[in-house]
Amino acid sequence: MSDHKELEPQDFPIETDQTALKTSDGQPIAEAKSKKLADDIADRLNEQAYREEQDCWSA
């Protein structure tokens, strides 16, 4: 079994440090093959989290 946990709202915004993706409190969550890819992944995750939060308020 994997010991990975799902991202929680308090983990956002996802930040990058070179190729590392980290939660808002600096906990590493993933490693990308390049800085550009890490930035792209973080942007997509943050955009999705923002949309989900907006959906909660509009429902």
Q: What is the mean pLDDT of residues 16-21?
A: 98
Say whether pLDDT at 2 is over 60: no
Mean pLDDT score of the chain, rounded to an integer? 92
Q: What is the mean pLDDT of residues 28-56?
A: 96
Q: Is pLDDT larger for residue 54 or for residue 45?
A: 45
Say whether pLDDT at 1 is over 50: no
Q: What is the mean pLDDT of residues 1-25?
A: 89
| Closest to 12 (Cα-Cα) out of 21, 3, 4 | 21
Omega before 28 cis (within 30°)? Answer: no
